[in-house]
Amino acid sequence: MRIEIICIGDELLIGQTINTNASWLGQTFSSIGAQVVKSSCIADDKNEIISALNHVSEGIHAVIITGGLGPTKDDITKHTLCEYFNTELEIHAPTLEKIQAFFAARNRPMLESNNLQAALPKDCTILTNNYGTAAGMWFEKNGLIYISLPGVPYEMKGIISEEVVPRFQERFQLNSIYHKTALTQGLGESFLAEKIKDWEEALKVQKLSLAYLPSPGIVKLRITSFKGQRDALLIDRYMSELNLLIPEYFYGFDDDTLPSVIGGILKEKRKTVGTVESCTSGLLASQLTSIPGSSAYFLGSILSYSNDLKMNLVGVKKDTLEKFGAVSEQTAIEMADAGRKILGVDFCISTTGIAGPDGGSVEKPVGLVWIGISSENGTFAKKYRFGDHRERNILMTILSAQNLLRLNL
């Protein structure tokens, strides 16, 4: 089953609203084995809507239209659809009752514009909206299904889940698509591709497709099967092989995050963690504590931005700072080591680096970072070289520190 999505709304085009509806619809339809082959955003404009309906891609079974249904006067979708499907509006009694009940339950007066929401096209199936006052509409023309829904995410999602998905599943033989995504940190897309090329070839032989999804510091590897759950065990086997190939980079699956993976290990081993940060400015701690229940293993953190605090609060030796500088292996080691004692934790991570844009030199350029790890097994620091961009350097440091901790737990 092939689906096209058309989102109506000026606020999407001028970027005032991020189009999360399209991604939710993509996820939802993929999960039932239907395929979104195109999605577009167009203006709240009659001609644009008609043009989009006239140019639906070939081989499409259903078009989902979102937006432009609401109580305010600038909504034109409903009128345009009447014209396009050659029908007219009439009051839909069950919808009017629902709207009246909706306002009564909330003790709010009804406006004339709310009554008008019950005026719906004659020749369509009305899709009940249990979350608001704008009903959905299901038209059919030349063997194609057109579904118009309100743009408010919460209402749109309700109608799709309760009214649309069951009808699609009844009407179409849906292929079940199965995805599993491996998460990797620390290796760029091209190096990763080089390292796993034989494994990737073997996947192809099994007709499993692989997609590389890179973002700064992280590359996700998504395996897709069009045979659905039947391939789940096979994919698990390939994932185990991948883990043997790149254990230092492969940290989890699907919705895992480095903080959630680290939290899981710490909880299981009943160990605690803390951070002493400089160039990551507290973000490493805040990510580790973003996991509900993290207070069981995360105790605290020191952000020692100035050299004075590195000495007076953390206890880095004056001598070390003078001889090697704040961004050095020795300082990173002393920060992690002292931090472990002061914070009373089993594992302490330290970060010190030159995030930029200023502060770089020939010897210590912007992007140079030292990450230290201290535990009962000892303390060490590892050197990293990132790029020129401050935010990205901070992000890369956080991800690298988390992955380094994971490998040393």
Applying the rule CB under 8 A, the residues between 223 and 262 that interact with its own copies are none
Q: How far is the CB of 147 from its own copies (least distance, A)?
A: 17
Provide the H-helix boundaries in 107-196. Answer: 112-116, 153-159, 165-171, 189-195
Q: How far is the CB of 108 from its own copies (least distance, A)?
A: 8
- Which x/- pattern, by CB under 8 A, does the window 329-368 give for its own copies? -------------xxx------------xx--------x-
Nearest approach in angstroms of CB 123 to its own copies is: 27
Q: Which is nearer to its own copies, 220 or 406 (CB)?
A: 220
Cβ-based nearer residue to its own copies, 65 or 124: 65
Amino acid making up residue 234: L
Looking at beta carbons only, is 123 or 229 nearer to its own copies? 229
**Least distance to its own copies, CB of residue 233, Å:** 22
Q: Pick out residues in 132-171 that bind its own copies (CB under 8 A).
A: 152, 154
Distance from the Cα of residue 280 to its chain's centroid: 22
Q: Is 59 in the site for its own copies (CB under 8 A)?
A: no
Give the C-alpha distances (Å, rounded to integers) separating 173 from 56, 109, 137, 170, 209: 22, 46, 23, 8, 22
* Rounded CA separation 243/381 (Å): 25
Instruction: Assess contact for 398 and 287: CB atoms under 8 A.
Output: yes
> How far is 209 from 226, CA to CA, in rounded Å?
9
- In the complex with its own copies, which residue's Cβ is closer, 344 or 378? 344
Q: In degrees rounded to 5, what are phi and psi of residue 273?
A: -140, 155
| Strand pairing category for 136-141 and 178-185 | unpaired
For its own copies, which residue of 143, 215, 233, 244 counts as binding (CB under 8 A)? 215
Would you state the structure tokens that stand for residue 331, as one six-digit string? 């300082």
Phi, psi of 88 (to 5 degrees): -140, 165
Region from 80-88, 161-169, 240-248, 384-392 binding its own copies, contact rule CB under 8 A: 384-392
Among 46, 61, 79, 390, binds its own copies (CB under 8 A): 390
Element (H, E) at 141: strand 136-141
Shortest gap between Cβ of 383 and its own copies (angstroms)?
10
In angstroms, the CA 61 to CA 172 distance is: 10
**Of 89, 193, 234, 246, the one binding its own copies by CB under 8 A:** 193
List binders of its own copies among 84-123 (CB under 8 A). Answer: 105-108, 111, 113-114
